[in-house]
Structure 1
Amino acid sequence: MTSVTDTDTITTIDRIRARHDDAVHIGTGCDIAADVDIIIDTDATITIGDRVSIRRGTTLQANTGGHIVIGDDVAIGENVVVSAMTTIRIGRGAGISNMVDIHDHNHRPRTHENLAPGEPITPWASGFDAAPITIEAGAVIANKVSITAGVTIGQNTRVGANAVVSASLAPNATAVGVPARVVTRTPGPLDPEQPRQQLRIGWFGTSLMEHYEAHNPRLSTQADLPDIGQQLEVTEWRNRGYVHALITGWSIHYPWITILSDNRGEGGATSRNVLANLRAAVDDGGRWDLAVVGVGINDVWRHHQGRHDEAVGIDEYDTNICAALDLLTNHARRTLVIGEPPMGWDPSIDVPAANRDLADYNRRARRAAEDHRALFVDIWDDITYTATCFGWSPTTPTAPATGAPSVWTDGVHLSEQGDEAIRQMVARQITTHRILDGLLTLDRLDRATATREYR
């Protein structure tokens, strides 16, 4: 190993600065081996913080439009390769051991779409997909680990030797294997200056999703509860129901993530209204990691109530939900469509006939979801099963006796049991398909799109 004295360090850093000028920034007190290879292409940069150590044989390559950012007090071992087409960030105090490979890009498949006619056979002919990589403060990466595009490795997390990190890892964890999986978690201090990762979830639907509850803060403040019989003024509406329960559960399951819930459910909304709400949200710059759509019950209900101006026929419903999913293709990373539950009772309409129509609308929603590569959650059978166990009949639907359990409060809106049933079904599908886990790893996009989207 080449010994690095103060004079050698100055010579090495001066050589790097002279070669790359403003494209490189190197802080104070750095220890960089003489044979470290720094490659910076057009419109690319490398930023190295203070007191960074980079040992022999390591390569830092910022490809055209790519950026490498290394925080203070980082130690990088021997024969490490860091190659960026978008951005690779290594947080302060992180340790990267020998022969680690960090690439924020991959070769695209050799398909007709990715190869120009007559293109020579070269390793790069099909182009690249790319997504930023973040190694957060205090993380330690052992020998011969490979870290792939889009991954975030949380603060203080340790990755065992020879692992392949292809999905993001939580902070304060130990991960091993191919692919790397968390095997232990330990509490530890997090850097307050490290921004928390965020997931934004948008909800577009009816009152089943909106689920407003009249509230006064004293009603839930244990140290200041009102006396029985005391009158309080309603001071706010708050969203509750299955959406609130899901967000609460996810915030506990992923405590290192800030989950932002953008609930745009609207009481009485038909697919017409939901589409208009979504368009307004998109016009306001709305973008979501996960968008959830649930609509149809009011389209049918209004028809059976004789409110034909508000009702939405099944063909228009099909058009509306497809238009909504078209919009979300470009404004949400993943989309989930929740089927509507059956109606329980309504003395003013023929409920079995309305439910037959609503089942047809759900079939259209399922087909639209499949056509748009969205996940469809069918809640009909589970709600029906639970309701019948509570004593409800789908052929002769009537309101339950006072105090009897029910999945509905008024025959259409959900009770706590109904909300819990939907929460369980949605949570199960989200977990089975690893939706939130997948969203923690950034999507790999073609190189040009990645450069633009992740700038």
Structure 2
Amino acid sequence: MTPGTYRQGDVPAGRRLAQRRDTGVPATSIRDFDGDPGPCEAPRTLTVGFFGTSIMEHLEAVNAQMTTQANLPEVGSRVTVESWARRGWVHRLTLSLRAAWPHIAFDVHNHGKGGATSRDVAGIVEADRATNGTEYDLVFLGCGINDVWRCFQGRTSEAVDLEEYTQHLTRMLDQLRGYARRIVVVSETPFGPIEDPATVTSMNTELARYNEAAAQAAAALDAQYLDMWNPFTAVAQHMTGPSGTLWSDGVHLTELGDTVLLQQTEHFLAEHCIVEKLLG
């Protein structure tokens, strides 16, 4: 008889038989269990926050009949929008996390706001802390695209120059690291064909400067930086035809564009073992 195992008649009171969990074909032992069962672990919860623009918010019109496969409306019929729901890459990432870690509860707070500049996002971060006082395990923070866009739209009072953008981002990071265990600064995606090519090139040249400032701020304040710009641009350069576009209007993303962001985020989380480290 091997050490640590017992014949049935030898098991002392309060003990249980050694157990083996066999897997594979043919089955091979991967772990031995012996002794009293351990106490059940309390369910774990990871609280995740998203602060950013419409790229994170991504609203979608909802009608219950539109999502019930057994009761879809007839083609050509009309339905009433009953509510707005958050979809896009943040929604899909939430589903992906819950599927990959079914024993973990992910409490997701999406504070993305369409049209928000860094000035607006800074106000959202401030209000969230003052109102809710939420302690976050993981925060994704991204802004800048509207700071640049407003300038090219001629809405100068709403535009945010690079110096002010850096100040807002630095302040948000400094505040968030007081109650967030891990912060990931997400770069903005480039502009697509929203204006004439020369104007779009100028817009992206300016937006790239904001992303560089975001990367520097993240490094200075112990946050991680998730580059969406380069992989998004690489995919866009190889796409052809209307079915391959990453933008719905040159700024907001299609499902394909959201998929690029989703895959990059999943890869980033896995590469840095972020969920595993948060679970301790």
Which structure dedicates a bigger proportion of its chain to strand? Answer: 1
Establish whether residue 389 from structure 1 lines up as the match of residue 228 from structure 2.
no
* 195 and 217 in structure 1: CA distance in 2 versus 1, 3 angstrom threshold: farther
Aligned match of 2:193 = 345
CA distance in 1 between counterparts of 2:152 and 2:171 reads 25
Residue matched to 1:109: none
Shift of 1:173: 12
Distance 1:258 1:227 in 2: 37
Q: What amino acid maps onto 2:223 in structure 1?
A: A
Once the two structures are TM-superposed, the CA of residue 195 in structure 1 deviates from its matched residue by 4.6
Equivalent residue pairs, number: 253
Q: 1:196, CA displacement in angstroms?
A: 2.2
Q: Please state if 1:239 is matched with 2:86.
A: yes
1:316 is matched with which residue? 164
1:81-230 paired onto structure 2 within 5 Å: 195-230=42-77
Following superposition, the deviation at residue 347 of structure 1 comes to 2.4
Higher RCO (CA-CA < 8 Å; seq separation 6+) = 2
Q: Could you report, residue by residue, the CA deviation over 1:102-140 in whole angstroms, capped at 9, with x for unpaired residues?
A: xxxxxxxxxxxxxxxxxxxxxxxxxxxxxxxxxxxxxx9
Match of 2:256 among 417, 424, 437: 417
1:327 matches 2:166: no
TM-score by length of 2: 0.84
Determine whether 1:371 maps to 2:236.
no
Distance, in Å, in 1 between the alignment partners of 2:279 and 2:72 is 39
d(CA) in 1 for partners of 2:46 and 2:71? Answer: 34
Ranges of 4+ aligned residues in structure 1 off by more than 6 Å: none
Which residue type is aligned with residue 307 of structure 1?
A: R
What are the Cα deviations for residues 87-116 of structure 1, in whole angstroms up to 9, with x where unaligned?
Answer: xxxxxxxx9xxxxxxxxxxxxxxxxxxxxx
Unaligned runs of 5+ in 1: 1-73, 76-94, 96-139, 143-157, 161-171, 175-182, 185-192, 392-400, 442-455
**Distance (whole Å) between structure 1 residues aligned to residue 175 and residue 71 of structure 2:** 46
The one of 400, 408, 427 aligned to 2:247: 408
C-alpha distance in structure 2 between counterparts of 1:374 and 1:247, whole Å: 21
Unaligned runs of 5+ in 2: 1-13, 24-29, 32-39
Shift of 1:420: 0.4
> Which whole-Å CA distance do the structure 2 matches of 1:419 and 1:314 have between them?
26
Give the number of the structure whose residues are more often helix, by fraction. 2
Percent pairwise identity:
38
Deviation at 1:223, TM superposition (A): 2.1
**Distance of aligned partners of 1:351 and 1:248 in 2 relative to their CA distance in 1, 3 Å threshold:** same
Give the whole-Å Cα distance in 1 for the aligned partners of 2:275 and 2:120. Answer: 28
Partner secondary structure for residue 177 of structure 2: helix
Contact 1:210 1:266 in 2 (8 A): yes
In our comparison, the structure showing a higher alpha carbon Rg is 1
- Can you list the C-alpha shifts for 1:355-392, whole angstroms capped at 9, x where unaligned? 0010000000001111111110111111111111114x
What residue in structure 1 maps to residue 267 of structure 2? Answer: 428
Deviations for 1:393-449, whole angstroms, at most 9, x for unmatched residues?
xxxxxxxx6x341110100101111100011111111110011111112xxxxxxxx
- Give SS of 2:237's match: helix
Letter in 2 for 1:314: L
What are the superposed Cα offsets for residues 76-95 of structure 1, whole Å, 9 maximum, x if unpaired? xxxxxxxxxxxxxxxxxxx9
Give the CA deviation at 1:242.
0.5
In 2, Cα distance between the equivalents of 1:259 and 1:286? 14
Q: TM-score, normalised by structure 1?
A: 0.52
Letter in 2 for 1:200: T
> Residue 330 of structure 1 aligns to a residue in which SS?
coil
Residue 255 of structure 1 corresponds to: 102
> How much does 1:212 deviate?
0.3
Aligned to 1:71: none
Does residue 271 in structure 1 map to residue 139 in structure 2?
no
Does the 8 Å contact 1:282/1:331 carry over to 2? no
> How many Å separate the matches in 1 of 2:47 and 2:56?
16
8 Å contact kept, 1:204–1:265: yes
Separation of aligned partners in 1, 2:216 and 2:22: 41
